[in-house]
Amino acid sequence: MGVVLLALPQIPLTLGNAVIAITEENNKHFPQCPVNENKVALSTGIMNLFSGFTGGIPMCHGAGGMAGHIAFGARTGGSVVILGAILLSLALFFSSSVDALFQLFPAPLLGVVLFITGMQLAAGSSVLPAAKGDRSVALVCAALCIWNVALGFLAGIALHHLVRRGWVRL
């Protein structure tokens, strides 16, 4: 039951956000340090193996996090180190006060941060492919993803292969 209701729906989201989108986002903003999907997937897998052994939760690199960092001024890997140091300090020295600290941030502020992050991601993916078939696949996939992400993901993969093999002309 957990595999069907939790794991299967997570696959297209994880591949889209934590592998494909983060690779594109990284290579767009940091062309001097390119990564590929294989490296990102391997890194995420290793990270989750260690996390599981220590009782941690599943993690990913996530394009939303990178887009948010960049939207608010981060330009180097040092920003993540600084954020990590702050969060680690909060956890180690102020764990009883973290909830009160988070209550100081109004909920609409979180909405603004999420909106700006979403706009950053949308702006980065606003260029459609040049080839007509690829453009049609992207538009069909996007339209289906509005309704059902898993269906859009599967249809996108299927259409991509059908167009590449010449079985369907869009």
What total number of domains does the chain contain?
Answer: 3
Mark whether 90 and 55 lie in a shared domain: no
Mean pLDDT is lowest, of 31-35, 113-117, 125-129, 136-140, for: 125-129
The range of the structural domain enclosing residue 142 comes to 129-170
Mark whether 117 and 135 lie in a shared domain: no
CB-based contacts of 26: which residues, under 8 Å, 6+ apart? 33, 34, 35, 66
Mark whether 116 and 140 lie in a shared domain: no
Mark whether 6 and 41 lie in a shared domain: yes
Q: Using an 8 Å Cβ cutoff, are 22 and 63 in contact?
A: yes
| Of 57, 56, 76, 58, residue with least CA distance to 66 | 76
Tokens 């869009």 sit at which residue?
170
Mark whether 43 and 54 lie in a shared domain: yes
Residue 100, both tokens: 């009160």
What pTM did the predictor assign?
A: 0.63
pLDDT in tens, 83-113: 899 989 988 998 888 888 878 888 888 788 7
